[in-house]
Amino acid sequence: MMALSHKYILKFLGTAMSSVTGTVSIITEMCEGDLKGLLLSKMGKMVEQDISTMVEQIVNATDYMHRQEMMHRDLKPANILFNCQEKAPSWEDIDLSMITLKVADFALARQCPANEDMTLSENVGTPAYWAPEISHGHYNAKVDIYSIGVITFELFMKGIKGKRITREDHRDGNWARLQDLPHQLRRFLEVTLVENPRERSTAATLLIHPFLIKSFPLEKYTQGEELLKGVLEVTCLFQAKSSDKLDMAIDQVAVTK
């Protein structure tokens, strides 16, 4: 955690040792609460834009971690903290467009080479958010992507539908049987809740997924805006289920623009 520095990752400030017990405490930036508690306060009160904005922040932090060859291994709402730019009398009154999420709790985080053939074997994390391959004892950073899919599905079910979910709801493609999933959300879950990790998306690819791009500040960019739009168009065409397909999309757009 000390080596990580990112807007959407909890900032490490130092350590302190108790002169009485000798206990060492970790000092971090202060946050108002966690996504788990916020979600309970907002059950049935969210809209799709709230979810895409929050998930974009989580994916952004995960992409940074993976580029640092670090895997979290325990992404879940309880390990994602938040701050709000405007104070509200209660969590129910918080304007979700004003919050900043902070990925926290790196107790289970490990260095993981970018090479997908390099795997770990420890069965760690929270089973409800586990990728299937963790129970098989061979996995890599793609487990974080599956966890993001579970979190996204949970945000939809609790935040919009006001319903709780179980582990079985997102296993074996059970989530896909829901008839009222928004189109782009369904496409996002199709590339995150994939049983085979080799077919699962990368964090970098997810950042330009149409479900998240609506929360991306495109108006800040002038140069390359058409290129970015073209990448999105071709990515949709290829469904961007692997980094190879994303590279193909970028190459094709670069030639045609």
Does 74 participate in catalysis according to the annotation? yes
> CA 231 to CA 252: how far, in whole Å?
8
3-state secondary structure of 14: strand
Q: Which of 240, 245, 226, 70 is nearest to 143 (CA)?
A: 70
> CA 40 to CA 23: how far, in whole Å?
33
Alpha carbon 131 to chain centroid, angstroms = 14
Give kind and range of the element (H or E) at residue 148.
helix 142-154
Q: Among 34, 50, 74, 144, which one carries the catalytic annotation?
A: 74
> CA 2 to CA 159: how far, in whole Å?
33
Question: Hey, what are 238's tokens?
Answer: 């290829």
The residues carrying an active-site annotation are 74
